[in-house]
Structure 1
Amino acid sequence: MKLNNIIDRIKLPFRKEKELFSSLYEILGFYPRNIEYYKMALMHKSIRKRNDKGKPLNNERLEFLGDAILDAAVGYIVYQHYEGKREGFLTNTRSKLVSRETLGKLASEMHLTNLLLSAGHSTSHNSYVEGNAFEALVGAIYLDRGYEACLWFFEKQVLGKYIDIDKVAFKEVNFKSKLLEWSQKNRVRLEYKLTKQKKDENGSPVFTYMVLIEGVSGESGSGYSKKEAQQKASKDTLQRLKREPQFVDAVFAAKTARTQMEEEPAMAVPSTEQEQNFIIEQDTTPANDAETKVDEKQDNVSTIDFTDKEFDLSDISHKEKSREEIIAEAEAAAFSED
């Protein structure tokens, strides 16, 4: 690499695009061989340039290639750097290193964005555009000098100067806390639902959680711990909230429906007191008062009307007999004895 750089430096004064070569050298650590690859990598699709055949000229194809090469190169570097670490840790570390946010910051710090050709200035601070340009640059390096040059570039130029791999690996970004803060500010209900729990081929538990905001399904995340799974689900849900206005609308529509139901007048809550009608009331009235009450009760008893025909007893009452009746009864008795 050093010998090639010396030769390329000697050739530099005779090149047509000396400034571009020099700028790329500061970024790459070596001089390009085929400058056309790098010019294409720095060409954003917004300029709408086409070749003689009418095909668009931009960095999207190189971005696709660079994304794949970057994953492989960074994966190898992480694998070599963290001997004995589990696959989950290695994957998580690689994801942090090649995230769009990280690549966007790298492009800015390395002044790659100063070389980016676009239709306007609106993309100059867009991490997605900058990150895409960084991936396209890696694709250009691969086509120009091969995989080993890509590996050297990221290991020596990026990790050696701009990124502390250990800080990135062990940095804990609390996406769950960020999502919770957002939900509290907007007064929406946030819930984490365990949707799946299984064991991997080594017998380690794997959890899958889904985010629910006002009952609307967000994103899911899996991990070897509940915390890790919820963090991943929170991160993806936050990203979805940023890029999908329809998702945000659905959340707040659900919130409106819930709050309207809560504002409806509620029926009175039934009493929990029970009637004690099984208790016999005790008479605590003094004795004198009791006698008075008995007399009052007797006075209040309805008297029977004996003049009523139904209760006429006159036919069984005692009555004086006449002399003629006595003689007649005596004669009847005498004749009956015969």
Structure 2
Amino acid sequence: MINWLKRLSSRFRKDTGNFFFEIKNITGFDPVTEEHYKLAFRHSSASRENQGARLNNQRLEYLGDAILGAIVADFLYDRYPESGEGYLTSMRSKIVSRRHLNQLGMKMGLNKLVVKKTSRTVNAKSIYGDALEALIGAVYLDRGFEDTKAFVLDRIINVHVDVSTLENRIASHKGAILEWGQKHKKEIAFEITGCYGESHNRKYEISMKIDGDLISTGSGSSKKKAEEEASRLAYKKILVHDNG
């Protein structure tokens, strides 16, 4: 029994060491409070119960989202002094878009650290982008704003973000569809056609209609994400039609 406990303790220390080696490798500095980082990689599908509360990375994701937006806005303001508000706002939206953050999370290897109990289809949508925002929130709580800013600029933007490529990317397919509708005098409408799952892991289904005709149906973990997915699918159809 004693030997078994020693082996278990040794394995725990090894796993913990591996985790913090990965965190240091990603952020560039030693973590101080381990719980922030462990929570940052716990998806809602694998929530832990603690005195009636469900512990996952959603609160850290909320915090990281706000901090990332501020850092990116400051970065663009300094980098492009001649650019107007419209360009800066568009580029910020593209950098912090769910699609782009998910790609960044994969590039940074966050998929190896996320604790989840969900399908591959859901994985591809937003899990690793959410984890990246949660990690930024964890760094902020652990190290403060200046270290967080250094992490975002030195380890994310300067290494993984290609602004010139993003310039030609659509930041919001919903925005593009609504703009197209105004230009062509079309009525665009979104309708919730389904809502599934428990409150902590809910999935929405939303249909998009143009002048009353059903064009596409999208799904996502929020109404906003489902609308964006429906808009993306509709945009592809409209693009094919216009080019045809």
Matches within 5 A, 1:286-297: none
1:29 aligned residue? 28
2:188 aligned residue? 217
- Partners of 2:148 and 2:171 lie apart in 1 by 32
Deviations 1:270-304 (A, max 9, x none): xxxxxxxxxxxxxxxxxxxxxxxxxxxxxxxxxxx
* Number of residue equivalences: 187
1:66 aligned residue? 64
- Partners of 2:37 and 2:69 lie apart in 1 by 20
1:148 shift after superposition: 0.9
Q: 1:139 to 1:111 in 2, by over 3 A?
A: same
Matches within 5 A, 1:127-276: 127-168=125-166, 170-173=167-170, 192-193=181-182, 212=186, 216-218=187-189, 244-248=205-209, 251-252=212-213
- Check conservation: 2:188, 2:210, Cα contact below 8 A: no
- Check conservation: 1:211, 1:217, Cα contact below 8 A: no
Residue ranges of structure 2 left out of the alignment (5+ in a row) = 1-12, 191-203, 216-244
Counterpart of 1:18, as a letter, is G
- Between the aligned residues of both structures, percent identity stands at 33
1:104 aligned residue? 102
- Partners of 2:160 and 2:58 lie apart in 1 by 25
- Partners of 2:56 and 2:77 lie apart in 1 by 33
Residue ranges of structure 1 left out of the alignment (5+ in a row) = 1-13, 181-190, 195-209, 220-242, 255-338
Q: 1:211 to 1:126 in 2, by over 3 A?
A: farther
- Partners of 2:171 and 2:162 lie apart in 1 by 20
- Partners of 1:247 and 1:172 lie apart in 2 by 22
With the length of structure 2 as denominator, give the TM-score of the two structures: 0.67
SS at match of 1:171: coil
SS at match of 1:245: strand
Q: 1:150 to 1:127 in 2, by over 3 A?
A: farther
Deviations 1:146-198 (A, max 9, x none): 11112111111112221123432x3254988xx89xxxxxxxxxx6335xxxx
Q: 1:153 to 1:124 in 2, by over 3 A?
A: farther
1:268 aligned residue? none
Q: 1:23 to 1:244 in 2, by over 3 A?
A: same
1:35 shift after superposition: 1.3
Counterpart of 1:110, as a letter, is M
Deviations 1:245-291 (A, max 9, x none): 3435984369xxxxxxxxxxxxxxxxxxxxxxxxxxxxxxxxxxxxx
With the length of structure 1 as denominator, give the TM-score of the two structures: 0.49
1:299 aligned residue? none
Q: 1:94 to 1:175 in 2, by over 3 A?
A: closer
Rg larger in structure: 1
Q: 1:130 to 1:123 in 2, by over 3 A?
A: farther
- Partners of 1:117 and 1:123 lie apart in 2 by 16
1:139 shift after superposition: 0.4
1:86 shift after superposition: 0.6
Counterpart of 2:145, as a letter, is Y
Q: 1:167 to 1:56 in 2, by over 3 A?
A: same
- Check conservation: 1:28, 1:153, Cα contact below 8 A: yes
